[in-house]
Structure 1
Amino acid sequence: MAENPALATPTDLNRNDTKSVAEALNSALADCFTLYLKTKNFHWHVSGPHFRDYHLLLDDQATQILGVTDAIAERVRKTGNTTLRSIGDIARRQTISDNDADFVAPGDMLAELRDDNLKLVESFRAVKDAAEAAKDNATSGIVDEWTDQAEERAWFLFEASRKG
């Protein structure tokens, strides 16, 4: 992330410290975009007797994930850093794997998304650690909400996949 003076947002935070926060945020952002697209993919391709329930659940979750992306990117900018610029940038940074399979069974979809949301929680915990080390209270505070949302999504996916 080369610093361009035109993008040097004023901040009282140490520039070197915020670079590590921005790196953690950008990694989490790449994972959010990956998880969003995978969730929409599964939403579009789910089938079976629980179609309506899963279709609606996945659409709600995708909407929530997409909503977080802007907040993450704006947080990067508020700290005077730059954020993701392209699909290639996302691909270089993502830690959540894509799923390009022609067919995924509904139960496997839910399990994969549950695990991916828990992986996103790990990314958010790395953001929290970097933010606290940089004394970036705003990022440290806001990432708690994103973590809670990802944990809730994982919980819903777990409960929806249980055999009754």
Structure 2
Amino acid sequence: MSTVTELKTPTDLERNSVRSVADALNGVLADSYALYLKTKNFHWHVTGPHFRDYHLLLDEQAAQILGTTDAIAERVRKIGGTTLKSIGHIARLQRIDDNNADFVGARDMLAELHRDNLKLVEYLREAKEAVDAAGDNATGGMLDDWTDQAEKRAWFLFASMQEG
């Protein structure tokens, strides 16, 4: 029988800082997966006169969100933390609400995703406070980039909802 030992990843962050940064990033990671799946759900189910435009927009946004998840998880591991392990783990940490409705109108989809991206911006800024307090400059820079991406997604969604 083998014994499991904790991986001692070298880092200059203090142990408590690793924990606070990992916790903040794991929350953002769970929210990113929730937002990704909701965006894909709406991509799959959007209908109406702007179907093609919305379908493509949501697919692009979902790909961008999914593209951040590996970088978030790898950053947690790089500083010596552990990250999400299952859908159940995501469900316990996510703050972005699921949408299991049988039908959602296209404009309501865009409005909901607009709000959710703005929530993610808020959560990214909270995480930034935690990493700044830990002196983790590298993670701070990454969070700045992810915040900019979420703000741009929110802007595109808002602009897409406006009348001609």
TM-score bracket for the superposition, by shorter chain length: over 0.9
Counterpart of 1:19 in structure 2: which amino acid?
R
Query: Taking every aligned residue pair, what percent have the same amino acid on both sides?
Result: 70
2:5 and 2:149 mapped to 1: Cα distance?
35
1:42-53 equivalent positions in 2, closer than 5 A: 42-53=42-53
Shift of 1:8: 2.4
Which of structure 1's runs of 4+ aligned residues deviate more than 3 A?
A: none
For each residue in 1:34-60, what CA deviation from the matched residue of structure 2 results, as whole angstroms up to 9, or x when unmatched?
000000000000000000000000000
For the 8 Å contact 1:128–1:140, the answer to whether it is kept is: yes
Shift of 1:5: 4.2
Q: Give TM-score, length-normalised by structure 2.
A: 0.96
For the 8 Å contact 1:124–1:147, the answer to whether it is kept is: yes
1:148-163 equivalent positions in 2, closer than 5 A: 148-163=148-163
Secondary structure of the structure 1 residue equivalent to 2:129: helix
2:97 match: 97
1:1-164 equivalent positions in 2, closer than 5 A: 5-164=5-164
| C-alpha spacing 1:139/1:5, structure 2 compared with 1 (3 Å) | farther
1:11 and 1:24 mapped to 2: Cα distance?
17
For the 8 Å contact 1:22–1:83, the answer to whether it is kept is: yes
Q: CA RMSD for the aligned pairs?
A: 0.9
Secondary structure of the structure 2 residue equivalent to 1:7: coil
Q: Give TM-score, length-normalised by structure 1.
A: 0.96
Structure 2: runs of 5 or more not aligned: none
Structure 1: runs of 5 or more not aligned: none
Counterpart of 1:137 in structure 2: which amino acid?
N
Secondary structure of the structure 1 residue equivalent to 2:130: helix
Shift of 1:9: 1.1
For the 8 Å contact 1:7–1:81, the answer to whether it is kept is: no
